[in-house]
Structure formats: C-alpha cells, structure tokens
Amino acid sequence: MKKSLKIVSKILILAVFVWVGAGALQASSQGKFNEETRENLRNQLNQTRETRKDATRNVLDEVKAKREELKKNLETKREEAKERLETVRKEAQEKAKAAREEFKTKIKQVRDEKKRLTAERLEEQLNRLNKRWTDHFTNVLNRLEDVLAKIEIRIQKAEANGRDVAAVKIVVEKARAAIKTARDAVAVQAAKIYTVKFESEDKLRTAFQAVKEQLHKDLTALRDGAIKTERQAVQNVVQELRKIKSVDEEPTATTTPSSTSN
C-alpha cells in the first residue's frame, strides 16, 4: 500500500513538472510573439510618420510654388500696367501737340506779361496734377493688389487643409476683374491732356476755370467710381475669408491641395 502511494505521488509530481514546464514554454512563446508584434507596430508607426512627413513637405512645397508663381504674375502685371501708362501718356502728348501749340501762340498775344506767365504755369500745373493723381491711383491699386495676393496665399493654405474655398474664390475673381477695370479707367484718365482754349484775353480766366473744373470732375469720377469699386471688391474678399475656419492653419498631409486658377 505504501509502495502504491509512493508511485502515485511520483506520478503527480511528474505531472506537475510537466504542466509547469508546458506553461513556462507557452508563456515564453507568447512573450516572444508579443514582442515581435510590438516591434512590427513600432515599425509601421514610424513608417506612417515618415510617410506623413514626406506628404506634408510635398504639400508645403506645392503651396510655396504657387506663392512664387502668384508673386511673379503680380510683378509682371504691375510692370505691364506701368508701361501702359507711359505709352498712353506719350501718345496723348503727341495728339495734343497741335492744341498746345495753339495755346502757346495765343498766350503770346496776351499783353500783360504777369498774366501770360501765370497762364503758362497754370496750364502745365493742370497736366502735372493729372499725372500726380493717376500715379496715386495706380499706387492705390498696387496696394489693393498686394492685399489680394496675400489673401490668395491664405486661401491656398485653407484649400490645402481641406477647407471649402469655393465661395471666396468667386469673390477673388470679381476683385481681379475690378482691378482690371480700374487700371483701364486710370489709363484712360492718364491719356487726357488738359489744354486751355480761349478766344480773347478777357476770357482767359473763365477758360482756365472751366478746364480746372473738368479735371476735378474727371478725377473725382475716377476716385468715386472704379477705384472705390475695387476697394469694396477687396473688402468683400476679406469678409468672405473670415467665414473660413482656421484659415491660417499650416497645411498638413491629411489633404492634398487642388489647383488654384491664376
């Protein structure tokens, strides 16, 4: 009987050792599996991070490229506008030669030297005034165009982040059209030459007053017309831009910017 109990005891001890050994082996195998799984997850996470970094860099590079393109287009348009003003002024001077020669001939007939010199000076001042104001309006349009360009860069950022920019793009196009209209109006005004025509010395003062009033009327119409319309057009863009949430957030790789019209 004692012998049988010893045998049973040995069998139980052996079974325990086998069970413990199997558990340890399974735990070791499971631990190795978990470590491999964690390593794979870490590798995948690192790879995903690198992919996102590359994609983000690509998005930022694309936005930067569009910014440079916009800047070049702006400089080109500005130079073209400047050359256009110079051209129309020269053409206007040529066309007005006959009228100015007539004025010079008639003004020589004025007996009062002081009055004659004053008339010559005033005639030159009228045209210098027109040039000064058309240059001023050109600078105003340049500044508004700069504002619009900066807004377009912000729109590109918003678009790269997946924001809905369809509405603000429409308003931008309207502002661009308004700038073109305003530049055309400035060119028309710059082409005008103000020449005083008078029949006799006693009508000289009245003739000058009429030309002066016409110049003032033309400049006021330009200021309150095309220039004011362009100011409002840019303001409309600013107001529409404010409706876009987080518009100045830097682009990420979650979205890809679509092409922006020039």
State how far the Cα of 113 lies from the Cα of 108, in Å rounded to an integer. 9
Local confidence band at 256 (pLDDT 50, 70, 90 cut-offs): very low
**Nearest-10 crossing angle of helices 2-95, 166-190:** 20
Rounded to the nearest integer, the mean pLDDT of the chain is 77
126 or 8, higher pLDDT: 126
Provide the residue count of the chain.
262
- Choice between 227 and 24, residue whose per-residue pLDDT is larger: 227
DSSP 8-state class, residue 243: T
Closest alpha carbon to 158 in 67, 244, 56, 72 = 244
Q: Which of 118, 134, 106, 105 is nearest to 192 (CA)?
A: 134
Name the residue with higher pLDDT: 89 or 131: 131
- 3-class DSSP state for residue 119? helix
The pLDDT value recorded for residue 253 is 53
Q: Which pLDDT value is given to residue 118?
A: 73
Say if residues 143 and 241 touch (Cβ distance below 8 Å).
Answer: no
At 196-252, the pLDDT tens digits run 776 666 677 888 888 899 999 999 999 999 999 999 999 999 999 999 887 767 666
> What confidence score (pLDDT) does residue 121 get?
79
Sequence-distant (≥ 6) Cβ neighbours of residue 216 within 8 angstroms: none
Residue 258 is classified by DSSP as P
Indicate whether 66 pLDDT > 90. Answer: no
Picking from 93, 162, 103, the residue whose alpha carbon sits closest to that of residue 130 is 93
List the structure tokens of 127: 């045209």
Query: Coil, strand, or helix at residue 69?
Result: helix
Q: Which residues contact 112 (CB under 8 A, 6 or more apart)?
A: 201
Residue of 142 and 7 predicted with greater confidence: 142
Confidence of residue 261 (pLDDT cuts 50, 70, 90): very low
Rounded Cα–Cα distance for residues 134 and 120 (Å): 22
The CA-atom distances, in angstroms, between 55 and each of 165, 228, 260 are 21, 43, 19
- Which is more confidently placed, 10 or 113? 113
Q: What is the value of pTM for the model shown?
A: 0.67
Residue 214 carries which side chain, given as an amino acid letter? Q
Nearest to 197 by CA among 123, 130, 127: 123
130-172 tens-digit pLDDT? 999 999 999 999 999 999 999 998 888 888 888 899 999 999 9
Between 113-160 and 228-241, two packed helices, what is the crossing angle to 10 degrees?
Answer: 20
Calpha distance 64→56 (Å, rounded): 12
Q: How far apart are CA 80 and CA 73, in angstroms?
A: 11
Domain regions of the chain by residue span: 70-241
pLDDT at 257: 46
